[in-house]
Every structure is written in structure tokens, then in C-alpha cells.
């Protein structure tokens, strides 16, 4: 429930019961062979797992070390997010829930939830800030095609953090039949541990695959961090090993900074202790404790907090927080496209951009988690390069 002093269950009383009910149900399912069989079957035949661990020989030559890519961009839906939504969808189903609600910022988690809603037969409603709905029309349409309803959120900054608040409000009065499907390894207990567990399939596969390919574990692993689910997913099975774990946050903003907007999404690097969405963690806040709006060219890294387990692992020194700014991310985006014929998500491009800027930190053998594919980002990159 806690990771050092981080984590916990800092929620209004109305949310304690659904959270504890969920924690209890998940604890039981964790030990159920039947649950794992069903999940494994969906991960294999629906999501397309295992994903390859690809030796990037051109990028390796360029950086003078062996670089492997964990190809989460090949998961159905185009990112690692489905690992978590499938897992939670099955939990909800077994708990007898008939409705899913979720928050979404860029729309990627909303789409991954809509996929599961359609496939497992839930009524699905997605909370999304009005500003984000305008910015992410394609994802709104994808969700609707798959039968989900998108509910506009008009409170606050009308973006991701407000959508989470609305979803939590909904859940407090509907939990009897509704599951709240949180999209990253953050929030109140049990979400950080549960989401990490569902994403750990990334690291478990990678561990097997690198051992087979190289006969040893890597010197380092690089992953980008929004809330921390793809990073925790690939890190978790390596926590006890001598492997350098590098967590790359969005570290940069161009022009237009105001007092209400942090100039980055770097909660591990620049955040301070505070409570966000039910957990004590590191967050971007003003001197009065008001949440700052985060900024990154990659919408999926745009969360003003970070999961409590990563906050803890960074504090103990087990995970090393690093930063890549917009420019480094665009460089990584172009490099992977050009060198390997793989267009990464702008989020993942932060991990690549960091690796390119500090190759010495990687050691001789590294794995970079390519958390998603970049088709969704083409317009953003074209606009960035023309500005």
C-alpha cells in the first residue's frame, strides 16, 4: 500500500470502500490460475504478445554500444496501454461490474479502454477535458467507433487532471456496478501496484529475451515516464539486479511559459511532495500547493505527478531520473525512423533522445522501451518543425 512514505489512500471517505473492494478482489485474482490463463490468452491472441526484443543494429553502430528495443509499439492499439486495460477489464468482469469509466488526456488510454469495453462487453464512458477533446479529434472518433461515450469535462484547466477528478467523482456513487479503469501506475492504492503488475509482462519478456540473445542481463534499461506505467512495467522484474534503470521525463518547454504552467513534465526531477489523485507522491505544484499544468510536446507525458513507487525508487537511488526536452525527443523521433525504419511515439522518443545524448550512461548493452508507435504524432512533429 505504501512505498516508503509515498503512496497510500488519501481519498474522500466515499472512495475508500470501492478502493478496498478492488484491492481485495485483485488480491484474490492474483492467485487465481484461471484468471492468469484468461489474461494470458487475451495478451497473446488479442494484444499480440510477446512483443519482439529487436537488436537495433544501425542505432547501435551510431552510438557505439549494443542497443535493443522492446517493441511495445507493436501491441494492438499501438502502445503498452492495452496490457493494463485488458488486465483491469478482466478484474472488473470477474467482480461482476458492467460499466467502465476512465480518464484520458491525449486519448490514448481512452482508446485502450474503449477497445476492452467493446471486446469484453462493458458499457464504457470516458472523461476527457474539453480542451483535449478539441486537440484529439481522431482519438475521440476512435473511442466512439468502438462504442464508448466521451464525456466532456469543463472544470479546472479542462485537461487530464480534471478528467481524473470527474471520473473519481462518478465512481464514488456508481461503484456498485462500475469499475474505474485508471490508466497509469499512479493514484490511490491499489492502482499503482495493480497497474505495475499488469505492465510487468514487458519486463518479464525482456528479461527472457535478452538472456536468450546475449546470455546476460543488460547494463541499463531506458524508459520514458508520464505516470510511470511503461517504466515500472519494464523495470519491475530487474529491481534486484545490477541493471541501471533510467527513467526519462519530459524536460522541456519552448516559448509561452506562464506561472500556471510548469515548463516540463518532470515530477521526479523538479517535483515536491504532495497529494495527487489519492497518493502522496512527487508533484508539480505552486507555493500554495495548487497543481501546475504540465507541458510536453508528447501529450502522453503531460501528467503533473508521477506514480508513488517511482517517486520512492528515485529517492532511494535505485532508479535514476533523467530528462529529455522537446528538441531531444524530436531528434530521437527522427533518428529511430531514419536508422531503423521504426517511427516511435513522441513519448518513447524521449527515451531514445536521452540515450543519444548520453550514450556513456548506457553501458555496453542496453534496452530501450519503445512504449508506442508514432503514427498519432505525425501532425505534431510536422507542426513543430515548421514553427
Ligand X SMILES: *Cc1c(COP(=O)(O)O)cnc(C)c1O
Q: All 3 cell numbers of residue 153?
A: 469535462
Instruction: Based on the shown chain and the rule CB under 6 A, indicate whether residue 81 belongs to the binding site for ligand X.
Output: yes
Q: How far is Cα 73 from Cα 292, in angstroms, rounded to an integer?
A: 30
How many CB atoms within 10 Å of residue 28?
12
With a CB cutoff of 8 Å and minimum separation 6, the contacts of 284 are 262, 265, 266, 267, 270, 271, 291, 292, 294, 304, 305
Q: Which member of 110, 300, 305, 308 binds ligand X (CB under 6 A)?
A: 300
Count of positions on this chain that bind ligand X (CB under 6 A)? 19
Instruction: Based on the shown chain and the rule CB under 6 A, indicate whether residue 230 belongs to the binding site for ligand X.
Output: yes
Q: How far is Cα 237 from Cα 230, in angstroms, rounded to an integer?
A: 12
The residue among 50 and 183 lying less far from ligand X, judged by its C-beta, is 183
Examine the residue annotation and report whether 193 is marked as an active-site residue of this protein.
no
Q: Which member of 139, 220, 281, 371 binds ligand X (CB under 6 A)?
A: 371
Q: Say which of 66, 70, 103, 282 is annotated catalytic.
A: 103
156, 170, 8, 175: which is closest to 103 by C-alpha? Answer: 170
Of residues 236-295, those binding ligand X (CB under 6 A): none
Q: How far is the CB of 302 from ligand X (least distance, A)?
A: 9
The residue among 306 and 356 lying less far from ligand X, judged by its C-beta, is 306
Residue with cell 469495453: 117
Q: Which stretch binds ligand X (CB under 6 A): 59-67, 139-147, 219-227, 266-274?
A: 219-227
The residue among 65 and 159 lying less far from ligand X, judged by its C-beta, is 159
The number of CA neighbours under 13 Å toward the Cβ of 336 is 34
Q: How far is Cα 352 from Cα 327, in angstroms, rounded to an integer?
A: 12
364 exposure class (CB count in 10 Å sphere: 0-12, 13-18, 19+): exposed
Is the preceding omega at residue 21 within 30 degrees of 0, hence cis? Answer: no
The residue among 209 and 267 lying less far from ligand X, judged by its C-beta, is 267
Q: How far is the CB of 374 from ligand X (least distance, A)?
A: 9
Q: Which strands sit side by side in the sheet containing 244-250, from one edge to the other?
A: 53-55, 66-71, 365-370, 220-225, 244-250, 319-324
Q: All 3 cell numbers of residue 42?
A: 487475451
Of residues 341-360, those binding ligand X (CB under 6 A): 345, 347-348
Of residues 129-188, those binding ligand X (CB under 6 A): 184
User: Cβ-closest residue to ligand X?
Assistant: 372
Examine the residue annotation and report whether 81 is marked as an active-site residue of this protein.
yes
Examine the residue annotation and report whether 103 is marked as an active-site residue of this protein.
yes
Of residues 323-342, those binding ligand X (CB under 6 A): none
Of residues 94-133, those binding ligand X (CB under 6 A): 108
Residues of this chain that bind ligand X (CB under 6 A): 79, 81, 108, 184, 224-231, 300-301, 345, 347-348, 371-372
**Positions marked active-site:** 81, 103, 371
Amino acid at each position: 500500500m505504501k512505498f516508503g512514505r509515498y503512496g497510500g489512500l488519501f481519498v474522500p471517505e466515499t472512495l475508500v470502500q470501492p478502493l478496498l473492494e478492488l484491492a481485495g478482489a485483485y488480491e484474490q485474482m492474483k492467485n487465481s490460475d484461471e484468471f492468469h490463463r484468461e489474461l494470458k490468452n487475451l495478451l497473446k491472441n488479442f494484444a499480440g504478445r510477446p512483443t519482439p526484443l529487436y537488436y537495433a543494429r544501425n542505432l547501435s553502430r551510431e552510438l557505439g554500444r549494443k542497443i535493443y528495443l522492446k517493441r511495445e509499439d507493436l501491441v494492438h492499439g499501438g502502445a503498452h496501454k492495452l496490457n493494463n486495460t485488458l488486465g483491469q477489464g478482466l478484474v472488473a468482469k470477474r467482480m461482476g461490474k458492467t460499466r467502465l469509466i476512465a480518464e484520458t488526456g491525449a486519448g490514448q488510454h481512452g482508446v485502450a479502454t474503449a477497445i476492452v469495453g467493446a471486446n469484453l462487453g462493458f458499457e464504457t464512458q470516458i472523461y476527457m477535458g474539453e480542451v483535449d477533446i478539441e486537440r484529439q479529434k481522431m482519438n475521440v472518433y476512435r473511442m466512439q467507433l468502438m462504442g464508448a461515450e466521451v464525456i466532456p469535462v469543463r472544470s479546472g484547466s479542462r485537461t487530464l487532471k480534471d478528467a481524473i477528478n470527474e471520473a473519481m467523482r462518478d465512481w464514488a456513487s456508481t461503484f456498485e456496478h462500475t469499475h474505474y479503469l485508471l490508466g497509469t501506475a499512479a493514484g490511490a492504492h491499489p492502482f499503482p501496484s495493480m497497474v505495475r503488475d499488469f505492465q510487468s509482462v514487458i519486463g518479464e519478456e525482456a528479461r527472457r529475451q535478452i538472456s536468450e540473445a546475449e546470455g546476460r542481463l543488460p547494463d541499463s534499461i531506458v524508459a520514458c515516464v508520464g505516470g510511470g506505467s511503461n517504466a515500472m512495467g519494464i523495470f519491475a522484474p530487474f529491481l534486484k539486479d545490477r541493471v541501471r534503470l533510467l527513467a526519462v521525463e519530459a524536460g522541456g518547454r519552448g516559448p509561452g511559459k506562464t506561472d500556471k504552467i510548469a515548463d516540463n513534465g518532470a515530477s521526479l526531477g523538479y517535483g515536491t511532495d504532495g497529494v495527487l489523485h489519492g497518493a502522496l507522491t512527487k508533484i508539480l505544484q505552486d507555493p500554495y500547493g495548487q497543481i501546475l499544468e504540465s507541458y510536453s510536446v508528447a501529450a502522453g507525458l503531460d501528467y503533473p505527478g508521477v506514480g508513488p513507487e517511482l517517486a520512492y525508487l528515485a529517492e532511494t537511488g535505485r532508479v535514476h531520473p533523467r530528462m529529455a526536452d522537446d528538441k531531444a525527443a524530436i531528434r530521437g523521433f527522427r533518428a529511430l525512423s531514419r536508422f531503423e525504419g521504426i517511427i516511435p511515439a513522441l513519448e518513447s522518443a524521449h527515451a531514445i533522445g536521452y540515450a543519444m545524448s548520453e550514450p556513456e550512461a548506457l553501458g555496453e548493452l542496453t534496452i530501450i522501451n519503445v512504449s508506442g508507435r508514432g503514427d498519432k504524432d505525425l501532425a505534431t512533429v510536422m507542426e513543430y518543425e515548421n514553427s
